[in-house]
Chains A and B, each alone.
Chain A
Amino acid sequence: MKKSLRQRPKSNLLLYLFVITALVLSAWYGRTRSGPDIWPHLQKIFPEAASFSVSDGVFVVQDERGGLLGWAANGSANGYAGPLQLLVGIDSTGTVSGTSVIEHRETPVFWRMVRFPVFFSEIAGSSFEEINYRYEEVVGVTGATRSSDAIVASVRKAVARVAGEQFDVTIPLPLPPWEFGFFEIAIMVLLAGAVASLYLRRPVQKAWRWASQAFALIVVGFWENSPITLTKLTGFLAGYFPEIRANLAIYLLVVGFVLTVLLFGRSLYCSHLCPFGAIQRFINLIGGKRIRLPVWSLNLMPRMRDLIVFCAVVTALAIAQPGLAHYEPFAALFALKGGMLQWFLLLIVLLLSLVLDRPWCHYMCPMRTGERVLQDIRGTITGPKGEQHA
């Protein structure tokens, strides 16, 4: 029987205290370190700029003789892995002079997909009225929708600020519409089905799990490419919560993961909804073998995984870049995007899946670390009785 935190030796408690302290300190450091210098961005937008002053959150930019060149304001919105900040310059006639990305926390491979140079060159020279109609250039970049949406929202906010402060023009900032469609319904049905299957007979449970995973592989994996990633979880830990109306699916998956571990003692997301777990299961079915690894490696590998996850999260929090915590090969498989590390991990994991039972899930997945932490929390809350039930 698994021991709860209460029953475990003091060293475990100390380990948790150390981990929590390190996470809090790194998050605090990441939050409080000084922001980027705004001057190079102002010079990029207004090459003749010699000085600037700040008035009601708007930068007033002047040339060498003190003449007004224009105004600039920054706009911020949450992207995939945290806030994205842009600076938008408006000249004295009320047209957009240029834009510059101050900082972003997106996963590099997806950030490169966003065609922001094209979009930015398009909106340069637009008036306030025109700018609302030029968003199609960047909206909905396949595979980088969240980053694209954040760019659009940031530009809109920055323009609205200058328009309101300097020109008395009100630019509406509508909330994004609720994204509630087939994908969100599918997630809810799969989660509900996974919970219901716990109360069914074992063969039915097994059949449901196979069906659920096959569906998740297609929908959550290849169609939406939305498995839970370390980037998302680190973003949540850092306090970067994406707009719920446009990211309902992420919330459903994360809440489903946390709740099922706390309520049932195991992650039903991992067993029923994770597309990467599904593909490993299917490959193992093709391979038809399950090699038993030596006990020492079974003990060592999860510890190595926990250590890697800890280092990745602490580093990402300290530099306030959740996107850098990303090492999973999900995007390489489902969106054919990833660095060399992800591609080689994908190769190794898929080949090992022929002879091992879900090697990524057991030995490398950061979700497993999260599951273990949540299981300990559950054990501490419910005590030995609850754990016996799980």
Chain B
Amino acid sequence: MSFFMSGFFWFLEGALFCIFILAVRAWAEDRSIPMPYWKWISLIVWVFFVGFTLAFIGTSFGEGEPAAAIRGGILFGVIAIISGVGLWRLLKIGNIPGEEEFATATEE
């Protein structure tokens, strides 16, 4: 059985996903960025879309369709990157300017 078909792969993927969510939470708290439910939903949808893009590329190559992998990868990859940039800007909504610098100065 290949690595990608094994249960260990899915265990790793789940672990990485949990770490990612915890990291986002910590990042938002450090910067005093409010994280309402719509930000979490957008973020999770985006993560799944990125996962879908990678799966599309991988399975297309696996099925012996490199042209589909390249075209689909370009199309979905571009959508993922552009929506990622948009999401990044959306996530920062509500950030209080100067809050981060203040927190760092107090710690020192």
Contacts and interface: CB of A to CB of B under 8 A. Distances in A.
How many A residues touch the partner, as a band?
A: 10 to 19
B74 interface: yes
A286 B70 contact: no
A346 B74 CA distance: 8
Given A343-B70, A343-B71, A286 B77 contact: no
Contacts of B85: 286-287, 354
Nearest to A354: B85
Contact of A344 (B74, B81, B82, B86): B74
Given A286-B89, A336-B75, A350 B82 contact: yes
Contact of B78 (A288, A340, A351): A351
Interface in B10-67: none
How would you classify the secondary structure of chain B's contact residues: helix, strand, loop or mixed?
helix
Interface in A335-380: 336, 340, 343-344, 346-347, 350-351, 354
Contacts of A336: 71, 75
A286 B74 contact: no
How many B residues touch the partner, as a band?
A: 10 to 19
A223 B78 CA distance: 21
A347 B78 contact: yes
A292 to B, nearest CB: 19
Contacts of A288: 89
A351 B89 CA distance: 16
A283 interface: yes
Contact of A346 (B78, B81, B86, B89): B78
A350 B71 contact: no
Interface string A234-275: 000000000000000000000000000000000000000000
A350 B86 contact: no
Interface string A312-347: 000000000000000000001000100010011011
A288 B75 CA distance: 21
Given A286-B86, A332-B71, 15 more contacts: A286-B83, A286-B85, A287-B82, A336-B71, A336-B75, A344-B74, A346-B74, A347-B74, A347-B78, A350-B78, A350-B82, A351-B81, A351-B82, A354-B81, A354-B82
Interface of A: 283, 286-288, 332, 336, 340, 343-344, 346-347, 350-351, 354
The 6 closest A-B pairs by CB, nearest first: A286-B86, A347-B74, A350-B78, A343-B74, A287-B85, A343-B71
28 contacts: A283-B82, A286-B82, A286-B83, A286-B86, A286-B89, A287-B82, A287-B85, A288-B89, A332-B71, A336-B71, A336-B75, A340-B70, A343-B70, A343-B71, A343-B74, A346-B74, A346-B78, A347-B74, A347-B77, A347-B78, A350-B78, A350-B82, A351-B78, A351-B81, A351-B82, A354-B81, A354-B82, A354-B85
